[in-house]
Copies of this chain bind each other. A is one copy, B any other.
Amino acid sequence: MSKNGNTTSKYQIGEELLKQNRPDEYKNIVEGLAKFSPELGEFLIEFVYGTVWSRSYTENPVLPAQTRALVTISCLATLGREPQLRSHITGALNVGCSKQEIVEVLLHLCVYAGFPVTINAIKIAQEIFKS
């Protein structure tokens, strides 16, 4: 059960999903963001992971976690949200996407979002792949 009396079901699902697949992200939320804004921590765990991402963890997901990860990367690179792009490139590798798939997605965006989006995102991928 969640700490503040929220929906135990979705909050717990979100917590479990994070602990298993994104322990780095879980730590980031719980020890970082949630200490400053408990509500933001709750929205993330309960809604973002417990309600939306969990849809890739049912028995017959419409969208497997890998595809969901690539779709997320496409969106974040297009918007230029660099901290989240870093996090989700790591996440994509975690759920089984290959480095080539990730780079291919970023390369594709040059057509629809322009070359700067592709170049800036590919530089981030390069840094993450090195580490």
A residues whose Cβ falls under 8 Å from a Cβ of B:
6-7, 9-10, 33, 36-37, 39-40, 43-44, 47-48, 51-52, 55, 62-63, 67-68, 70-72, 74-76, 78-81, 83-84, 98, 100-101, 103-105, 107-120, 122-123, 126
Contact = CB atoms under 8 A, between A and B. Distances in A.
A100 B62 contact: yes
Contacts of A112: 72, 75-76, 79, 81, 84, 114-116
Contact of A116 (B67, B83, B108): B83
Given A63-B101, A74-B71, A37 B114 contact: no
Contacts of A7: 6-7, 9-10
A101 B64 CA distance: 10
A81 B116 contact: yes
A44 to B, nearest CB: 7
Nearest to A118: B40
Contact of A108 (B52, B104, B118, B122): B52
Contact of A75 (B74, B81, B122): B74
A126 B36 contact: yes
